[in-house]
Amino acid sequence: MTVDLGDARLARAADRLLGVFNTAGVLDPADAHVAARIGRLGGETDEEVLLAVALAVRAVRLGSVCVDLASVSHTVLGEGDELVDVSALPWPDPPRWLAACAASPVVADGPDAPSGRPLRIVDGLLYLARYWGEEEVVRRSLAERAAAAPPSVDIPRLRAGLERHFSAPGSERQRLAAAVSVLRRVTVLAGGPGTGKTTTVARLLALLHDQPGPPPRVALAAPTGKAAARLQEAVAAELPAELRSRTPEAATLHRLLGWRPGGRFRYGRTQRLPFDVVVVDETSMVSLTLMARLLEAVRPDARIVLVGDPDQLASVEAGAVLGDLARAPGQPEAALDAALEATGIPGGLVGGPVINGVVTLRHVWRFGGAIAEFSRAVQAGDADAAAALLRGDHSDLEFVEPDDVTGVRKDVVAAGRELTDAAMRGDVPTALAALERHRVLCAHRRGPYGVTRWSAEIERWLRAALPDAPTGPWYPGRPVLVTANDYDVGLFNGDTGVAVAVPEGLRVAFARGGLPTLHPPARLSEVATVHAMTVHRGQGSQFRRVTVVLPPAESPLLTRELLYTAVTRAAEFVRVVGTEEAVRAAVARPVSRASGLRHRLGAARTG
């Protein structure tokens, strides 16, 4: 094999195993350099141990909390747009490898070993010490809250409220989720789109206000500004009018915790948040580190309601906390079951006892048709059913080959024309609605199936269809994506807006739970034009029509969670651009993020 010494992906100073795995494309230069540096500082020269250290660094960079040394040789796929063949690499023998790591001067061996070393190995999982610590914070906080005395609840009043708010057929599990959230300190409210999670949250808040005593202080939060705005709007629409003024505006988690320059937060274990109830939406997007900071900041006697869909893509940063919590093993809680029985919710009515405070909503209220059937097939890993649905004739689901862009172009031009016309008129609500009319979602950032290529193509289509539309760096109708948090302006990574012509001049409008916010373009430092976006970027958003661009079947980024997340961004119509082989590959490839949280939560609760 010819090696290009000028290739920026090569760590030229890495030798032996680190060099081999770097040249093969498994390790990034940073992974190799960090491992070598740790080895020099800690006196570790065993090349197999240094390879394990590099893989632990790589794992965090790619979303895992740790690395499972026993299985890593057949779970490494590559990290970008290309598949990496690892079958011929000189992988160490797992038992010998684990023993060498456990004996290393840079690795603490076991959960009770003293701190002070940069890595720790527990149950065959190798962690960077920081992430072991974060996982421990989350585990301990949840265990302590589960072991604490439950909140004081007026059961007859709760029962009456449940009967009043959840009387419709099909709302049984919503009723259960609301009851568990009142009766327990921590609740996980899981479910797919359209299953009534936000409605349940709004009615839960009404139930809590109905309990004796002072009204609870409530915080609503989400990982992104867009998700927070949608949460605020949805909850406000469901709350009784007399309660809307008592519920504060939903905030991003960073704003809730009081982010400060340098990555510190105002609130934490030494200064707790003043709220009695903290509701977090889109929890699948919350990283392990952010969840640790949240649990440290929430008072031990407060209620926490974690809302989200564990089958969606996990956070961009390390961890898959919602998935771990939703799937952790556990035992029924006798006191909770008795309290539920007293509220009129026997276990048989809802399919058995509640485990770890997790309630999954299954009845779909607003999200149906072929889109719902397809998303369920993807969720269940049923590739045959998914392919059959795509090949069927449906008004809300379309499947086209990669070279068939006729329908995509039609949607793009229609949305672009509506957006431009509204922006030039200064019609902010219509422009923001047009921004969500259609969106192209890609798995890749670059290449023929990536955001860069599709954005250029869309720009070309729009110029041809709207030759008289204004141009320049800033123009009415320019759709923008915020690419970095801006706490001074109050905009956050992932927020989308549109430039509009208003009497004061050109302003960029962003949707919020109430009135849109308008900002002069000069105040926005980190924005990009958005015609297409990655599926990760689209998470937490909803669009009327969605076009999903799938890469070839061998792409490591093509996973079940990515396809499921992409298609569930659509409210009315989904178009999948790709091959049947790619669809089948995605459905058959669930994301595997290494973490010890699920197992250790289950062990703590069943032990």
Mention every residue, 6+ apart, whose C-beta is less than 8 A from residue 384: none
Residues 332 and 290 in one domain: yes
Same domain, 110 and 163: no
Residues 427 and 550 in one domain: yes
State how far the Cα of 538 lies from the Cα of 35, in Å rounded to an integer. Answer: 34
Reference 535, options 604, 591, 487; nearest CA is: 591
Cα 299 to Cα 206: distance, rounded to the nearest angstrom = 21
pLDDT of residue 131: 92
Q: What is the pTM (predicted TM-score) of this model? A: 0.83
Which of these three, 365, 387, 417, is where a domain ends? 365
Q: Which two tokens stand for residue 532?
A: 């297409």
Domain that holds residue 101: 16-138
Instruction: Confirm whether 475 is domain-assigned.
Output: yes
Residue 299 is predicted with a pLDDT of: 93
Domain membership flag for residue 376: yes
10, part of any domain: no
CA distance 73 to 496: 40
What whole-number distance in Å separates Cα of residue 381 and Cα of residue 436? 29
Given a contact cutoff of 8 angstroms between Cβ atoms, the answer to whether 37 and 59 are in contact is: no
Closest CA to 63 of 556, 564, 569: 556
- Give the whole-angstrom CA distance, residue 119 versus residue 133: 10
DSSP string, 157-201: HHHHHHHHH--STT-HHHHHHHHHHHHSSEEEEEE-TTSSHHHHH
**Do 499 and 413 fall into the same domain?**
yes
Q: What is the DSSP letter of 350?
A: G
Rounded to 10 degrees, what is the CA torsion of 542, 547, 551, 555?
Answer: 20
- Residue 529 DSSP SS3: strand
Residue 263 identity: G
How are beta strands 186-191 and 218-222 bridged, if at all? unpaired
At residue 3, the pLDDT reads 47
Under a CB-based contact definition with an 8 Å cutoff, are residues 353 and 549 in contact? no
- CATH number of the domain that 238 lies in? 3.40.50.300
Asked if residues 177 and 200 have their Cβ atoms less than 8 Å apart, the reply is: yes
Residue 467 parent element (H or E): none
Gap between the Cα atoms of 537 and 549, Å rounded: 14
Distance CA(227)–CA(511), nearest Å, equals 11
Domains held by the chain: number: 3
Q: Which residues of the chain have pLDDT under 50?
A: 1-4, 81, 348, 606-607
Q: Residue 78, by phi and psi: left (phi above 0), alpha (psi -120 to 50) or beta?
A: left
Let me know whether 431 and 459 are in one domain.
Answer: yes
444 within a domain of the structure (yes/no)? yes
Closest by CA position to 442, among listed 394, 408, 419: 408
Residue 555 within any structural domain of the chain: yes
pLDDT for 104 equals: 93
Residues 246 and 281 placed together within one structural domain of the fold: yes
Tokens of 55: 């893989």
For helices 129-147 and 288-297, give the axis angle rounded to 10 degrees.
40
Bridge partner residues of 220 (DSSP): 279
- CA dihedral angle for residue 336, residue 341, residue 343, residue 346, rounded to 10 degrees: 110
Tokens of 364: 């779909």
Task: Report the candidate in 515, 512, 473, 521 with the shortest Cα–Cα distance to residue 490.
Answer: 512
Whose structure tokens read 């672009």? 416
Q: What is the pLDDT of residue 603?
A: 63
Tell me, yes or no, whether 501 and 402 share the same domain: yes
Give dist(CA 214, CA 401) in Å, integer. 60
Domain boundary among 73, 106, 138: 138
Q: List, for residues 240-279, the tens digit of each pLDDT value.
A: 777 777 777 888 888 898 887 777 888 888 899 999 999 9
Query: In the chain, what's the furthest Cα-to-Cα distance?
Result: 76
Judged by DSSP in three states, 122 sits in strand
Q: Are residues 91 and 165 in the same domain?
A: no
- Chain Cα centroid distance, residue 74: 25
Determine contact, residues 350/176, Cβ cutoff 8 Å. yes
Q: How far is CA 463 from the centre of its chain?
A: 34
3-state secondary structure of 243: helix
Amino acid in the structure at residue 287: S
Tell me what pLDDT residue 549 has.
Answer: 92
> DSSP states of 477-497 as a string?
T-EEEE-S-BTTTTB-TT-EE
Judge if 408 and 344 occupy the same domain.
Answer: no
Q: Specify the 3-state DSSP secondary structure of 355.
A: strand
For residues 171 and 204, give the distance between their C-alpha atoms in angstroms, rounded to a whole number. 13
- Residues 402, 484: one domain? yes
CB-based contacts of 165-171 (< 8 A; 24+ apart in sequence): 165/203, 165/206, 165/207, 166/203, 170/363, 170/365, 171/196, 171/363
CATH number, residue 63: 1.10.10.1020
Asked whether residue 45 is domain-assigned, the answer is yes
Q: How far apart are CA 110 and CA 172, in angstroms?
A: 44
Please give the annotated binding residues, written as ranges.
Answer: 191-198
Residues 477 and 380 in one domain: yes
Query: For the packed helices 369-379 and 580-587, what is the interaxial angle rounded to 10 degrees?
Result: 60
d(CA 569, CA 361): 18
Mark whether 92 and 182 lie in a shared domain: no
Which of 365, 392, 424 is the last residue before a domain boundary?
365
Residue 546 lies in a domain: yes
Annotated binding-site ranges for ATP? 191-198
Q: Is residue 393 part of a domain?
A: yes
Q: What is residue 469's predicted lDDT score, i.e. its pLDDT?
A: 75
